[in-house]
Structure 1
Amino acid sequence: MEASTSASLQPLVEVPALYKDPWYMITILLVYLYFVTKAGPHFMETRKPYELKKLILVHNVIQVVSCIYVIKEVLFITDNAIYFFWRCRDLGSSPEHVRRYYSLAYFLFWLKLSELLETVIFVLRKKQNQVSKLHIFHHFSTLTLVYVLINMNRNGTAAYFCVFLNSIVHVIMYSYYFVAAVADKSVVEALTPVKKSITVIQMTQFALILTQVPCQLVSCGMPPAVLLYFTGVIVGMFYGFYDFYNSAYQVAQRRKSQTPQPDSKQ
C-alpha cells in the first residue's frame, strides 16, 4: 500500500472543538492531577475510607465491554489487517471507514477519561500508596495519545495497532480485577500468578508497539514531534512497568529465597 493519504482525508472531517482544542483535555488532566495528589488526600484525611465495591464492579464491567467493542471496531476499520503492523494503511476510500475511524477515536477519548476514575477510587478508599507516579503517568499520557490520534495522525489506521493491543490487555486486566473484587480470599491468593502475568503482558505490549515505530517511520514517515512524544511515552511506560515488576516480584522472590527455611526434621 502507498504511504498514508490520511492527511488529505482529515480536512473532510470536522473534528468537534471538544476533541480539537487541547485546553479541554489539559483542564481535565490538571483537575485530575490536583485532586488525586492534593485535594483528594486532604479531603479523606479525617474520613473513613469508602467501600465503593459496586462502583468498582460496574467500572470493571464497563471497561471490559468497551475494550471488546474497541477490538471489534479496529478489526473492521483495518479490514482485519491490524496484525500486519509494519504496513502503511490510509483511512481508505470508504466514507464508512473514515466515519468509524473518528467515531472510535472519540469513543476512546471518553474511555480514557473514564479510566481516570480508578485513581479517584484509590483516593476515596484511602489507598494512596496505589497512586504511584507510574499510575498517574499512565492515565495522564494515554488521554494525550488519543488527542494525538484524533488530530495529528498521519499514519492512517496503522495508528490503531497500539489501541488494539492495549484493548486486549485491558480485557484481561479488568476481568481479573472483577474476579478479584467478588471472589473470596483463597481464590484471590490462587490468582496471584495471574497478576504477575498481566504485568508481563503489559511490558510485551509496549515492546511490540516500539517495534512498530521504526517500521512506520521507514515505510510511511511520521511527524517528528509525534514520533518523539509517542516514543517517549511508550518508553516511559515500559520502563515504569519493568521497574514495578522488578521491585514487586523479582526483589520479593529474592528475599523469599534468602529467608532461612525451618528444618523439616525438627
Structure 2
Amino acid sequence: MDLLANVWRSMEQDPRLKGRPLIDNPVPVFGIIVGYLLFVLKVGPNMMRDRKPMNVKNFARIFNLYQVLISSWTVYTVCVCCWKLSIGYGEPPNVKTDPLTMRLIDCLYIYLFVRISDLVDTVLFVLSGKQSHVSGLHVYHHVAVVFNMWLYLRQNWLYFALPGLVMNAGVHVIMYSYYFLATFPPMRPYLWWKKHLTMLQIVQFVCMLLLMAGVFFIDVEYPPAALANTGGTVFVIMCMFVNFYVKNYINKARELQQKKAFDEQRQWQQQQHIKSN
C-alpha cells in the first residue's frame, strides 16, 4: 500500500486541472467504476430477475440524442482548437494557459464526464431486461475508456492521443445516431447498416494502432508505459470486436447459407422421390 501511495505521489498531474472534481484524487473515479461493475454484473441482474423489464425507451432516446450532440461538439471543438494551435501528430505535452489552449483543456475535461456518462448505456440494458447485451467486450470497453481518459487527462498525456479521440468521438456520432433511430419502429427497415457499425469500429481501432505505431518512431515526451498501455488497450478491444463480428455476422451468415443449401437439397430429394413413385 505504501508503494502504491509513493507511486501516486510521484505522478505529477496537469496543474491546469488541479482542484477540479475527480482529478486530484483517484477514489471517486475508482468508486464509479466499482459501483458500475457491481450494478451491471451483480446487483442489477438480481434486482431484475423477478421483475418486469422497465420501459426505458423515452429515456434512451434522450440519452442517445445527447450522445450525438455532445460527441459532435467534441469533434468540432478539438479540431478547431488543434487547427488554431497548430497541434500536430505526436504533439508533446505542455502546460500553456492561453485562452485557446484552456478551451481545449476544458473540452477534454468535459469529455471525461461524457465517457463516464457512457456507463448509463449498460444500466439501460440491465433495467430493460437485456442482460445478454452486457458482454465482456461491452463492460471492458467502458471501464478501460473511463479509466484511461481520466488517467491521461490528469497526467497531461492526451495530446498524442487527440487524433484517436476525435476519431472515436466521430464514430460515437454515427453509432448513437443509429441507436436513436432504432428507438422508432418505423425507422427500423432503413437500419440495415447495423453490422457496418461494428466494422467501422474495427477500422477505427486499426487506424488508432497505426497512429500509435508511428508515435514510437518519433521523439515524443511521454512515458513508454503510457504509449504501451494505449496500444495494448486498443489492441485488446479491437480483437474483441473482431471476435464479435466474426461470431455474429460471418459465422451466422455461413450457418444460414448451409441451412439454405441443406433445405434445397432436401427439397430436391423429396421431388425426386415423388417422381420415382
Instruction: Specify whether residues 196 and 223 from structure 1 end up closer, same or farther in structure 2 by C-alpha distance, changes over 3 A only.
Output: same
Taking a change above 3 Å as real, the CA distance of residues 106 and 87 of structure 1, as seen in their structure-2 partners, is: closer
Change (3 A) 1:89 1:75: farther
The structure whose RCO (Cα within 8 Å, separation 6+) is larger is: 1
Distance (whole Å) between structure 2 residues aligned to residue 9 and residue 36 of structure 1: 31
2:69 is the counterpart of 1:65: yes
Q: TM-score, normalised by structure 1?
A: 0.87
Question: Which residue matches 1:48?
Answer: 52
1:129-158 per-residue CA deviation (whole Å, 9 max, x = no partner) reads 00000000011111112112212234x633
Aligned match of 2:3: none
Q: Structure 2: how far apart are the matches of 1:191 and 1:197?
A: 10
* CA spacing shift, 1:80–1:135, aligned 2, 3 Å: farther
Q: Would the aligned equivalents of 2:82 and 2:88 in 1 still touch at CA under 8 Å? A: no
Compared with structure 1, are the counterparts of its residues 216 and 51 closer, same or farther at alpha carbon in structure 2 (3 Å cutoff)? Answer: same
CA displacement at 1:225 relative to structure 2: 2.1
Contact 2:15 2:95 in 1 (8 A): no
Shift of 1:15: 4.9
> Where in structure 2 are there 5+ consecutive unaligned residues?
1-10, 272-277
Counterpart position of 2:199: 200
Distance in structure 2 (CA, Å) of the matches to 1:222 and 1:142:
19
Partners of 2:188 and 2:161 lie apart in 1 by 36
Using the alignment, how far apart are the partners of 1:57 and 1:98 within structure 2?
Answer: 34
Amino acid at match of 1:242: V
TM-fit CA distance, 1:105: 1.9
Q: Is the 8 A contact 1:75 1:81 kept in 2?
A: no
How far is the alpha carbon of 1:180 from its aligned partner?
0.9
Separation in structure 2 between the aligned mates of residue 81 and residue 138 of structure 1, nearest angstrom = 31
Q: How does 1:4-153 map to 2 (within 5 A)?
A: 10-11=14-15, 13-79=17-83, 86-88=89-91, 91=94, 95-153=98-156
Pairwise CA distance, 1:221? 4.3
Task: Tell me by how many angstroms 1:98 deviates.
Answer: 2.5
Matched residue, 1:238: 238
Tell me if the contact between 1:85 and 1:161 (Cα under 8 Å) persists in the aligned partners: no
In structure 2, the partner of 1:4 is none
2:96 and 2:13 mapped to 1: Cα distance?
9
Q: Which has the larger radius of gyration?
A: 2
**Any conservation in 1 of the 2:112–2:146 contact (CA below 8 Å)?**
yes
**Where does structure 1 differ by over 3 angstroms across 4 or more consecutive aligned residues?**
7-13, 84-87, 89-94, 261-264
For residue 20 of structure 1, give the secondary structure of its aligned residue in structure 2: coil
2:122 counterpart SS class: helix
Change (3 A) 1:26 1:37: same
User: How far apart, in 2, do the equivalents of 1:88 and 1:128 lie?
Assistant: 41
Shift, 1:90, TM fit: 5.0
Contact 2:90/2:215, CA 8 A, preserved across alignment: yes
How far does residue 56 in structure 1 lie from its aligned partner after superposition?
A: 0.4
Amino acid at match of 2:211: Q
Selected match of 1:166 from 164, 168, 175: 168
Which digits, 9 at most, give the CA deviation of each residue in 1:227-250, with x for residues without a partner?
222112101110010000000000
Q: Which amino acid aligns with 1:197?
A: H
Deviates more, 1:109-118 or 1:12-21: 12-21
Residue 107 of structure 2 aligns with an amino acid whose one-letter code is L
Deviates more, 1:216-225 or 1:11-20: 11-20
* Alignment-mate amino acid for residue 116 of structure 1: L
Q: Percent identity?
A: 28
1:10 deviates by 3.8
104-113 or 156-165: bigger deviation: 156-165
Distance 1:58 1:176 in 2: 13
The equivalent residue for 2:6 is: none
